[in-house]
Amino acid sequence: MNINYSFCTILMVIIYLNLLIVTPALERVSANPVIESVNVGNAPRGITFNPINDDVYVTNQRSGEVSVIDSLSNTVVDTIPVGGSPVDIVFNPSNGNLYVANRGSNEISVIDSLSNTVVDTIPVGGSPVDIVFNPSNGNLYVANRGSNEISVIDSLSNTVVDTIPVGGSPWPLLVDSVNNKIYTGYVVLGGPSVKGNVSIIDGSSNTEIDSVEVGGFPRDLEFNPINGDIYVAIPNSGENAGHVSVIDGTTNRLVATIPVGINTYDLEFNPSSNNMYVSNSDTHDVYVIDTLNRVIDTIPIERYPTTMYFNPANDNVYIDSNNSQSVSVIDSSTNEVIKSVSVGDGVDANRVMILNPANNYLYVTNFASDNISVIDSSNNDVISTIPVDHGPIDVIFNPFNDYLYVTNIESDTVSIIKDASSPTEEPKKIIDILRNIIQNPLDITNSIDSANDIKEVLTDNNRDNDQLACNLLDSGDEYASNIRKILNC
């Protein structure tokens, strides 16, 4: 035992010195480097994560296929032919399948998670553009814009069990799983102005139980779980001034019409304050509506506020100022803009914002400047600007490996971003490597290979080497404790 320990002591010192020489501490040029740029099909847009197999699925609109990216190797492991112009994809937790809306071929492709093959092709109405899962009954609802109807798909049989006609082209869809209702907006054409309605579908009977006139075109729908109301964003059109219509989720009646400027754009519910935020791109402000359906604040925004994102890490609301290079940050406790954050160029497409819960960084797509801005939630500073390929249009967070996946619609690629500040390797991994050395002290080849494995872990995590080594060995494990002494932790 003394011989082995002495040998291991010398070996660990050699490994440690080798790490310091070969992998010096790296300057933080980019805290979130792109580790892969993966070629996919033509015009990638929709993207989702599959928790069954930890793969990432990408819809390619022009090539009519879905690319499957393996989370371990970050390579395309399958290319699945689907229908024409796949525009939306959703994971069904009740059966583990993925459902793809093919707008060009009027059908839904069902992909099995285990085989990554299409196991069913379901004909629906004309131009399916939106698909949602209802956890209350396990059904999927498809908005068919070309045939003015909603198709209902049963998860067990993968067949259309109901087709629900509505009064116009349905979009968007909203599920209220609390009351088992589905809402969709549509427009009735004709007359001096656009007439908008919201159709209310009962999930238990899959029938339309009401249609509520809301004024103009329903651009966005949002549910407030506190008062149970449905909020509908209506932009200015003809005789209809911009406003928010409020539908009582219990009675299905219009209970409020709230004036909020001209071009009402987006709705975002803030669970921290229980308020609803409404962006207005023409009057350059954000309205705050409380649970009593009163406007309690009007917040001036720098330029053209469009999409919004609530950040649960700091209870701030982030506003995309389209046609500018900034994101405005609203403190939800005061409803004041506390910062205007300079980001990349978002012209031609709304920015998509997503939080990485592993580090509480907010990632913002900049379509025109081909990069991602990384905002630290603790101070709302941009800590990194990450170059990606042309036309970043969407981004998702992969909880399996803490990576971000960005679809670049103009370059037919997916950029994969690794968060260097949140190592994905667990301390046990490096401890197991070191244990292997200690248990096989005379196997020089094994020791060299293990040393290289440790070096790879340290390099991948991009931390200061000696501190990282100590952190990774912060364990009650006997071997780890001995090695910490060797490294003077």
**Residue-wise pLDDT tens digits, 82-119:** 999 999 999 999 999 999 999 999 999 999 999 999 99
Q: How far apart are CA 446 and CA 434, in angstroms?
A: 11
| pLDDT at residue number 357 | 87
Closest CA to 324 of 357, 378, 366: 366
pTM check: above 0.75: yes
Q: Answer yes or no: is pLDDT of 181 > 60.
A: yes
Percent of residues, the chain, with pLDDT higher than 90: 66
Helix, coil or strand: residue 60:
strand
- Looking at per-residue pLDDT, the higher value among 315 and 476 belongs to 315
| pLDDT at residue number 20 | 39
Percent of residues, the chain, with pLDDT higher than 70: 77
Tokens 């209506």 belong to residue: 234
Q: Where are the domains of the chain?
A: 2-28+425-486
Helical segments of 163-212, H only: none
Q: Which residues of 109-145 are buried (b: 16+ CB within 10 A; e: fewer)?
A: bbbbbeebebebebebbebbbbbbbbebbbbbbbbbb
| pLDDT at residue number 400 | 84
Q: Answer yes or no: is pLDDT of 7 > 80.
A: no
| pLDDT at residue number 454 | 57
Q: How far apart are CA 196 and CA 217, in angstroms?
A: 5
Cα Rg, the chain, nearest whole Å? 26
Q: How far apart are CA 309 and CA 351, in angstroms?
A: 10
pLDDT band at 486 (very low <50, low <70, confident <90, very high): very low
Q: How far apart are CA 412 and CA 39, in angstroms?
A: 6
* Pick from 4-13, 51-60, 142-151, 384-393: least confident: 4-13
Helix, coil or strand: residue 449:
helix
Evaluated on CA atoms 213, 214, 215, 218, the torsion sign reads: negative
Evaluated on CA atoms 207, 210, 213, 219, the torsion sign reads: negative
Q: What does 132-158 look like in DSSP terms, one character per residue?
A: EEETTTTEEEEEETTTTEEEEEETTTT
| pLDDT at residue number 146 | 96
244 contacts 234 by C-beta, under 8 angstroms:
yes
| pLDDT at residue number 437 | 56
Give the dihedral of Cα atoms 17, 22, 23, 27; nearest 10 deg. 120
Q: Give the DSSP H or E segment for 469.
A: helix 465-472
**Residue 368 CB burial class (10 angstroms; 0-12, 13-18, ≥19):** middle
pLDDT tens, position by position, 161-178:
999 999 999 999 999 998
pLDDT tens, position by position, 231-278:
999 998 766 678 999 999 999 999 999 999 888 999 999 999 999 999
| pLDDT at residue number 425 | 46
Instruction: Count Cβ atoms below 10 Å from residue 163 Cβ, excluding itself.
Output: 15
pLDDT tens, position by position, 219-231:
999 999 999 999 9
pLDDT band at 190 (very low <50, low <70, confident <90, very high): low
Q: Answer yes or no: is pLDDT of 472 > 50.
A: no
Position 342: which residue type? S
388 contacts 418 by C-beta, under 8 angstroms:
no
pLDDT band at 439 (very low <50, low <70, confident <90, very high): low
| pLDDT at residue number 428 | 42
| pLDDT at residue number 427 | 42
Average pLDDT, whole number, for the chain?
84
Closest CA to 317 of 294, 359, 344, 289: 289
- Looking at per-residue pLDDT, the higher value among 340 and 440 belongs to 340
pLDDT tens, position by position, 346-402:
776 789 999 998 889 999 999 999 999 999 999 999 999 999 999 999 999 998 888
Q: Answer yes or no: is pLDDT of 426 > 50.
A: no
Q: Answer yes or no: is pLDDT of 207 > 90.
A: yes
198 contacts 211 by C-beta, under 8 angstroms:
yes
Q: What average pLDDT does range 432-455 have in this prediction?
A: 57
Q: Answer yes or no: is pLDDT of 451 > 80.
A: no
| Most confident listed range (41-50, 347-356, 419-428, 452-461) | 41-50
Evaluated on CA atoms 158, 164, 165, 166, the torsion sign reads: negative
| pLDDT at residue number 433 | 56
Q: Answer yes or no: is pLDDT of 291 > 50.
A: yes
Position 111: which residue type? I
- Name the region of 351 (left: φ>0; alpha: ψ -120 to 50; beta: rest): beta
